[in-house]
């Protein structure tokens, strides 16, 4: 279960390689023209003009680059594509090919519209953030075998087999864990994205693939209990999380996305 909330605090918990992006530099070349009349008592007139030259060091102003070089300063560009960007989807390639300066973060209204459609696939990351995310997950797969194995062992601290203690959803506190999204989407900086992981599955509607009405009712009841002081209109639920390789040894763990606006700092501090 994923919760996006909009307070003053929103940041990535897991740090990958530093963002590789140079500052915009504008070269200003002053030229002077001085007209002087020989006698010392005459007036000297000085005019100054400023010429703005195209910036060749800002990644966002460079065109016709291979997709893996976009948003990268010239001195850090590689002639060949890094391994972690070799076999990415057309969607990810299109995002990474976009300069950061061309990206507009989603407002709370846009976020709620996407959530209302249950379209997690419409969320995107800032292009340079997506590049770092793909590099990070690529390294996790080399070290842990899969992203899910990393999440289970390092973020959730759950051991296999995953078995809920409660007889029904949210009955046992140990069957649920709330974490910040380590790699938030490109949304308003005041929104905090929380992911609620459960040891139990959640019932889907076979026709729509969405949660059943009863499952939503149970989830919303739990959310109101956990974040009771947050106005209802400031909370949106988006079912499901990104695909990281399927179930864990056949055990389906629940993952529900939530977007929450104006969550208090104290409440944010209660999550991992």
List, for residues 206-221, the tens digit of each pLDDT value.
Answer: 887 777 888 888 888 8
Q: Which of 68, 89, 90, 71 is nearest to 80 (CA)?
A: 68
Output the six-digit token pair for 101.
């300066």
pLDDT digits (tens, 9 = 90+) for 146-183: 998 999 999 999 988 888 999 999 999 999 998 888 89
pLDDT above 90 covers what percent of the chain? 35
- Give yes or no for residue 143 having a pLDDT over 90: yes
pLDDT digits (tens, 9 = 90+) for 44-91: 333 333 444 444 445 555 568 999 999 999 999 999 999 999 999 999
Output the six-digit token pair for 148.
């899910």
Chain centroid to CA 79: 27
The torsion angle over the Cα atoms of residues 219, 225, 226 and 228, rounded to 10 degrees, is 120
Output the six-digit token pair for 45.
């007139």
Which residues have C-beta within 8 Å of that of residue 17, sequence separation ≥ 6? 132, 135, 136
Average pLDDT of the segment spanning 200-210: 80
Rg (CA), the chain: 25
Structure confidence at residue 175 (pLDDT): 93
- Residue 217: is it exposed, middle or buried by C-beta count within 10 angstroms (0-12/13-18/19+)? exposed
Mean pLDDT of the residues in the chain? 73
Question: Could you count the other beta carbons within 10 Å of the beta carbon of residue 178?
Answer: 17
Output the six-digit token pair for 164.
């809920």
Q: Is the dihedral of CA 182, 186, 188, 193 positive or negative?
A: negative
Structure confidence at residue 257 (pLDDT): 61
Q: Which span out of 39-48, 114-123, 151-160 was modeled with the highest average pLDDT?
A: 151-160
pLDDT above 70 covers what percent of the chain? 61
Structure confidence at residue 255 (pLDDT): 60
Instruction: Flag the least confident range among 152-161, 190-199, 220-229, 236-245.
Output: 236-245
Structure confidence at residue 89 (pLDDT): 95
- Residue 216: is it exposed, middle or buried by C-beta count within 10 angstroms (0-12/13-18/19+)? middle
- Give yes or no for residue 12 having a pLDDT over 80: no
Structure confidence at residue 190 (pLDDT): 83
* 132 confidence band (pLDDT: 50, 70, 90): very high
Where do the structural domains in the chain lie, given as residue ranges? 2-14+69-268
pLDDT digits (tens, 9 = 90+) for 15-28: 333 333 333 323 33
Which residues share a beta bridge with 249? none
Q: What is the DSSP letter of 214?
A: H
Question: Could you count the other beta carbons within 10 Å of the beta carbon of residue 184?
Answer: 21
Structure confidence at residue 192 (pLDDT): 83
Which residues have C-beta within 8 Å of that of residue 171, sequence separation ≥ 6? none
Is the link from the previous residue into 161 a cis peptide, with omega within 30 of 0? yes
Q: Which of 141, 164, 165, 144 is nearest to 153 (CA)?
A: 144
Instruction: Flag the least confident range among 3-12, 104-113, 158-167.
Output: 3-12
Structure confidence at residue 30 (pLDDT): 37
Structure confidence at residue 41 (pLDDT): 40
Structure confidence at residue 100 (pLDDT): 97
- Which residue in this structure is represented by tokens 């194995």? 149
Is the link from the previous residue into 16 a cis peptide, with omega within 30 of 0? no
* 205 confidence band (pLDDT: 50, 70, 90): confident
- Residue 199: is it exposed, middle or buried by C-beta count within 10 angstroms (0-12/13-18/19+)? buried
């Amino acid at each position: 279960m994923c919760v996006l909330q909009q307070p003053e605090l929103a940041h990535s918990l897991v740090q990958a390689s530093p963002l590789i992006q140079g500052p915009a530099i504008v070269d200003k070349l002053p030229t002077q023209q001085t007209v002087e009349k020989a006698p010392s008592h005459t007036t000297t007139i000085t005019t100054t003009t400023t010429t703005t030259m195209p910036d060749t060091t800002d990644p966002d102003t460079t065109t016709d680059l291979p997709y893996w070089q976009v948003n990268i300063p010239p001195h850090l560009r590689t002639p060949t594509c890094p391994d972690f960007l070799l076999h990415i989807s057309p969607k990810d390639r299109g995002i990474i090919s976009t300069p950061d300066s061309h990206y507009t973060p989603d407002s709370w209204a846009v976020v709620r519209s996407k959530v209302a459609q249950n379209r997690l696939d419409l969320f995107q990351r800032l292009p340079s953030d997506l590049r770092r995310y793909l590099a990070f997950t690529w390294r996790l797969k080399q070290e842990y075998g899969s992203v899910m194995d990393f999440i289970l062992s390092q973020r959730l601290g759950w051991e296999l087999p995953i078995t809920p203690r409660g007889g029904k959803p949210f009955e046992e506190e140990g069957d649920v864990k709330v974490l910040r999204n380590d790699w938030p989407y490109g949304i308003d900086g005041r929104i905090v994205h929380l992911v609620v992981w459960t040891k139990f599955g959640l019932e889907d509607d076979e026709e729509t693939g969405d949660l059943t009405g009863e499952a939503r009712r149970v989830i919303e009841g739990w959310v109101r209990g956990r974040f009771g002081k947050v106005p209802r209109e400031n909370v949106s639920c988006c079912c499901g999380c990104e695909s990281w390789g399927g179930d864990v040894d056949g055990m389906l763990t629940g993952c529900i996305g939530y977007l929450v606006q104006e969550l208090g700092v104290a409440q944010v501090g209660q999550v991992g």
